[in-house]
Each structure stands twice: as C-alpha cells, then as structure tokens.
C-alpha cells in the first residue's frame, strides 16, 4: 500500500536577540579595547559637536545685514541668503533666470522618469543623450532666445552644466572607445588605447590648461571658441577616457555565451553588440558609472584655475565682496553642504537603479 506524504508544518525561525541594549553591547562594548575606544570617541564627539551645533544653528544669524552678523557669534547664513542668486547662477542676468531653472527642471524630470521607468529604455537613452542640447540652448540662447554670453555663466549652474553635459556627452564617446578597444582591428584598437591611456595619464588640470591654451592653436585663426566650450571639451575628453575603462570592464563581465547565442541566431556583430552585449554591460557598470558622475561633479571645481567661476569659485568670490567681507567659512560650508547633498542623492539614486536592475527588469 502507498503511504501518503504529509509535509511538516512551517515553524517560525528562532527569535533573534534584538533591542537597543543588545545592539550597544554587541557593537560598542564587545571587548575591553572596544569599550575604551567607544568612550574616547564619545569624549571627542562631546567636545566637537556642541560648539559646532552652536555655530551652525543655535547662534547662527539667518536674517539681517553684515553688521548684525558681525555682532553675533554664530554662522552668518544671512550672507548666503543675500548672495543666493550669485551662488546659484553667478553673474547670469536675473531676469532670464527662468532659463537655467527650466533646464534644471528638465534634468530633474528626466531623473524621475528614469527612476519610475515611465519610458522605454531606448527612448530614455535617447532622451538623456540629447539633453545637453536643450540645456545649452536654454542657458546660452540663440535660435530665438536672447543670447547670454558664456562669460555670464557661473555658480552652481555652471558646475551642473559642465558636469551633466560632461557625463552625458562622454558616455557615448566612452562606449565607442571601449568597443574600439575590444575590437580585432589593430588600427582602431591602437587608436582607442592611445586616447584612453594618454588622457588617463595626465591630471584634469593639465587637460583644462591644454584645452584653453592649446586647442586654439590647432584651430584656424578665424574660428573663435569661447573658453567655456573649450573647458567643456576638455572635461568631456577626460571623462570619456575613464568611462571607456569602466565600460570595458562591463563588456568583459558579460557572459561569452550571450554573444554566441545572438550570433548563432544570425545577428551580425553590431546588432549583437547593441541589443545583447551593451545593455548587459552597462547594467553591470551602473555603480562605477554613478561613481564617475560623482567624481566628475566634484572635479569640475578645478575649472577655477582657468578662470571660470563655478560653484566653488563663486563662493570664494562672494566672500570677497566688500560688503560681506570675512564670511569665507559660511560660503565654503554652504558649498560643501550643497555638494554633499548632490553627491549623496546621486549615490542613493544609483542604488535604487541597481535594486531595480536586480529584479530582472531593464
């Protein structure tokens, strides 16, 4: 006679030890040495945090003039408040401020659309890749919009333009360099290796100087390219080389069987690359790509050395304003805070993209 198999009922897992006290004992006081370190750490924090909080918030002056600030003890956020337009837009004409703001809205909107996956992947890619055009058009004018000379661009806006356009334009170039580097053709391969290694072998400052000083030497004398465009070109070149290496890592990480399966189905090399290899490679490298975005966002502060007033540059300039002399600390703390907010958000954003990827969707 056959016996009927009865599955055993599921049991809950054993209760884990939880609670605050348990956590503190396990993580802070789990040995004598660790306990000592914890106490020393707490002592140091106790000495730093209260004065810091006092300066940053409690004694801080949020409204008033430079005079009110000088009489107070804390940070002078009134200064940042008074100069906020300068911080954000630099010398950009105030009455046209809606144009950079609208660009920012476009950028932010595209971030949300991407996170929510409201468009097909292919459309998203196109939207991101053409984003530099409306950004430059809105901020710089032309084609029916009043022209704003690039010498009037500055502040956080300039930082974001250089970084966002830098990353977006360098993505396709980096991908092409990476593909070229993994090709059989010796000439193309050699060329790509040269570009990548040359650019990665020099500091960004050098590239910026070369772009501003040497680029005009290669151009016909009657062609005049504004310094901002030259700097942007340098940043794109710099970023492309690094992105190429990141993408190459991704290309190598894609299982060889994927390409074989595609080829076996009759797809040619280009279609295999575009439909099968690249999407998987790019998905693998989302974390390092976000890392590159963050790095580039911060690296753009180097454009100060060629005379552009980006966010950091404008912060310095603002603190030398005759009326608000002596509030450098506030300017730089504000600057650091905004940089941190941007980079941290980018990092979180990248994490959320990764998580989505793991579910198995695009």
Partner 1 sequence: MSGQNAALAAKNEQDTVISLVDMNKWYGDFHVLKNINLEVQRGERIVICGPSGSGKSTMIRCINQLEEHQSGTIIVNNQELTNNTKALEKVRKDVGMCFQHFNLFPHMTILENLILAPIWVRKMPRKDAIDLAMTYLKRVNIAEQSQKYPGQLSGGQQQRVAIARSLCMSPKVMLFDEPTSALDPEMIKEVLDVMEELANDGMTMLCVTHEMGFAKSVADRVIFMDGGEIVEENEPNEFFNNPQMDRTQLFLSQILSH
The Cβ of residue 162 has, within 10 Å, a number of other Cβ atoms equal to 26
**Minimum CB separation from partner 1 for residue 1, in Å?**
25
Phi, psi angle pair for 120, to nearest 5°: -65, 150
- Cβ-based neighbours of 279, under 8 Å, separated by 6 or more: 121, 362
Footprint of partner 1 (CB under 8 A): 255, 257-258, 260-269, 271, 275-276, 279-280, 283, 360-362
Residue 182 or residue 258: which is nearer to partner 1 going by CB? 258
128 touches 110 (CB < 8 A): yes
Tokens 């909107």 -> residue:
109
**Minimum CB separation from partner 1 for residue 89, in Å?**
41
C-alpha 131/C-alpha 124 separation (Å) is 11
* Residues forming a β-bridge with 142: 145
Residue 54 or residue 280: which is nearer to partner 1 going by CB? 280
Residue 195 or residue 262: which is nearer to partner 1 going by CB? 262
Residue 32 or residue 270: which is nearer to partner 1 going by CB? 270
C-alpha 160/C-alpha 153 separation (Å) is 11
Residue 204 or residue 262: which is nearer to partner 1 going by CB? 262
Residue 212 or residue 272: which is nearer to partner 1 going by CB? 272
Closest CA to 200 of 230, 239, 171: 239
**Minimum CB separation from partner 1 for residue 193, in Å?**
24
Tokens 């070369």 -> residue:
210
**Minimum CB separation from partner 1 for residue 112, in Å?**
22
**Minimum CB separation from partner 1 for residue 284, in Å?**
11
Closest CA to 285 of 241, 254, 240, 239: 254
CA Rg, the chain, in Å? 26
**Minimum CB separation from partner 1 for residue 283, in Å?**
7
Write the DSSP symbol of residue 38. H
Residue 121 or residue 345: which is nearer to partner 1 going by CB? 121
C-alpha 334/C-alpha 320 separation (Å) is 15
Residue 9 or residue 266: which is nearer to partner 1 going by CB? 266
**Minimum CB separation from partner 1 for residue 122, in Å?**
12
C-alpha 170/C-alpha 234 separation (Å) is 11
**Minimum CB separation from partner 1 for residue 87, in Å?**
42
Both tokens of 31, joined, read 């040995």
């Amino acid at each position: 006679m056959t016996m009927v198999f009865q599955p055993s009922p599921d049991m809950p897992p054993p209760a884990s030890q939880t609670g605050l006290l348990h956590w503190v004992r396990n993580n802070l006081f789990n040995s004598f040495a660790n306990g000592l370190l914890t106490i020393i750490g707490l002592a140091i924090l106790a000495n730093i945090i209260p004065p810091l909080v006092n300066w940053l918030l409690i004694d801080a002056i949020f409204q008033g003039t430079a005079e009110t600030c000088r009489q107070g003890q804390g940070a002078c956020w009134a200064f940042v408040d008074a100069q906020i337009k300068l911080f954000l837009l630099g010398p950009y004409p105030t009455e046209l401020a809606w144009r950079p703001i609208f660009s920012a809205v476009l950028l932010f909107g595209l971030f949300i659309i991407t996170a929510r996956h409201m468009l097909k992947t292919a459309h998203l890619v196109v939207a991101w890749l053409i984003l530099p055009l409306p950004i430059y058009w809105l901020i710089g004018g032309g084609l029916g919009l009043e022209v704003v000379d690039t010498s009037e661009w500055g502040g956080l806006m300039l930082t974001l333009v250089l970084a966002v356009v830098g990353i977006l334009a360098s993505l396709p170039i980096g991908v092409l360099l990476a593909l070229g580097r993994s090709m059989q053709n010796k000439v193309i391969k050699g060329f790509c290796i040269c570009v990548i290694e040359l650019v990665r072998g020099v500091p960004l400052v050098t590239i910026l100087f070369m772009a501003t000083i040497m680029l005009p030497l290669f151009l016909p004398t009657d062609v005049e390219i504004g310094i901002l465009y030259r700097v942007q070109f340098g940043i794109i070149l710099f970023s492309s080389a690094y992105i190429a290496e990141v993408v190459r890592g991704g290309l190598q990480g894609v299982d060889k069987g994927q390409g074989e399966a595609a080829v076996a189905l009759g797809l040619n090399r280009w279609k295999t690359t575009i439909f099968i290899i690249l999407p998987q490679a790019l998905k693998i490298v989302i974390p390092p790509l976000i890392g590159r975005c963050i790095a580039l966002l911060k690296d753009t502060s180097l454009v100060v050395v060629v005379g552009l007033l980006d966010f950091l540059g404008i912060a310095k300039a603002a603190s030398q304003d005759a009326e608000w002399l002596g509030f450098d600390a506030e300017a730089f703390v504000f600057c650091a805070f905004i940089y941190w907010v941007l980079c941290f958000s980018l990092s979180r954003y990248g994490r959320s993209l990764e998580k989505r990827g793991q579910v198995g969707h695009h």
